[in-house]
Amino acid sequence: MSDDNNNKQADFLGRYGPWALVAGASHGIGSEFTRQVAAQGLNCILVARTEDTLQSLKSSLEGEYGVKVLIVTQDLSAPDAAARLLRATGERQVGLLIYNAGGDPFISQFLNTDAESWMSLLRLNTQTVLETSHTYGKRMVERGQGGVILVGSHAALGGVRKLGMYSATKAFSLNLGESLWAEWKDRGVDVLNLLISTVDTPMMRETMQRLNIPDAATMNLPQADDIVRLALAALPNGPTLVHPQDLESPDGELSLGDRRREHVINKSAEAAMFIGRD
Ligand SMILES: NC(=O)c1ccc[n+]([C@@H]2O[C@H](COP(=O)([O-])OP(=O)(O)OC[C@H]3O[C@@H](n4cnc5c(N)ncnc54)[C@H](OP(=O)(O)O)[C@@H]3O)[C@@H](O)[C@H]2O)c1
């Protein structure tokens, strides 16, 4: 590895290490996040519901990158998920929280799924996001360093037919993340909302096949490894990366992510006149 790459890796590890916690780590975008942060030398806490996929990812990360790996088998939609996670992680210093779990397992019109099932998506995408951001974010702010990535969706930007609760809960995460960016950016903690559209993940392919979408198995889709690389590079420049639109905005024009950053800064300054700057 070149000196330049060594320095970049040391900077990343120093800023976001020693442990990364990936909520929803076992496949797709989450497993790609774990690979790329382990490649930078971060130890990984892997969280998902399916133990055997976590075990095989653990072996692969330990073998390939020589990092420590803790697995936590936990349903993040359980009411006490964050408390259990905190007990399992103990005193480990989590410098990078990546909240990735949060796909919609129901994809239906609002009335075609029962309210209790929607409540489980609500907890997964709001309550547990809130509680994990609060617990691990507090420790990061106290240390004056760290990072939080909330994996979101274009659906956060407005309502979508058959994605009502998904859209609503992703909007919660987006607005919370942008507010935390405004509160923590001068306190050493980076926050990034990663808003993506359809990505080539096992969950997405299975969903498309289940819904009988033509070419579901072969359709060309953006790849998780490319998106994760962009997200990790964008983390210091939060609060929001909209993929792929932000990469395509013409020179001299503000991207959607740039415009959202301006909105957060301007609105925070305006609000401060009425609610104070503390
Ligand atoms: N793929 C896309 O096209 C797409 C598009 C826009 C946004 N996104 C966002 O990207 C993120 C990742 O999506 P994905 O396609 O990789 O699928 P996903 O279904 O969200 O699964 C990702 C990971 O989360 C875990 N997970 C799911 N539900 C969980 C739960 N209740 N408790 C604990 N772990 C859970 C899964 O493992 P287990 O099943 O073993 O628990 C897996 O490791 C999501 O937030 C999604 O909203 C994806």
Cα–Cα dist 51/75, whole Å:
11
**Centroid of ligand 1 to alpha carbon of 103 (angstroms):** 5
| Position 1 pLDDT exceeds 80 | no
Q: Write out 67-115 in H/E/C secondary structure.
A: CCEEEEECCCCCCCHHHHHHHHHCCCCEEEEEECCCCCCCCCCHHHCCH
- The DSSP H or E segment spanning 191 is strand 189-196
The 10s digit of each residue's pLDDT in 30-82 is 999 999 999 999 999 999 999 999 999 999 999 999 999 999 999 999 999 99
Q: 28 CA distance to ligand 1 centroid (A)?
A: 8
**pLDDT interval class at 2 (50, 70, 90):** confident
Query: How far away, in angstroms, is 253 Cα from ligand 1 center?
Result: 33
Percent of the chain beyond pLDDT 70?
A: 100
Residue 5: pLDDT band (50, 70, 90) is confident
| Sequence spans of domains, the chain | 3-272
The set of protein residues with a Cβ atom below 6 angstroms from ligand 1 is: 24-30, 48-50, 53, 75-77, 100-103, 124, 151, 153, 196-199, 201, 203-204
If pLDDT is split at 50, 70 and 90, which confidence band does 228 have?
very high
How confident is the model over 212-241, as a mean pLDDT? 96
pLDDT in tens, 98-125: 999 999 999 999 999 999 999 999 999 9
Residue 230: pLDDT over 90:
yes
Nearest CA to ligand 1 atom 25: 24
Q: What is the DSSP string of 122-156?
A: HIIIIIHHHHHHHHHHHHHHHHT-EEEEEEEEGGG
pLDDT band of residue 187 (cuts 50, 70, 90) is very high
The number of helix segments (H) and strand segments (E) in the chain equals: 11, 7
What's the pLDDT tens digit per position in 77-93? 999 999 999 999 999 99
Q: Determine the CATH number of domain 3-272.
A: 3.40.50.720
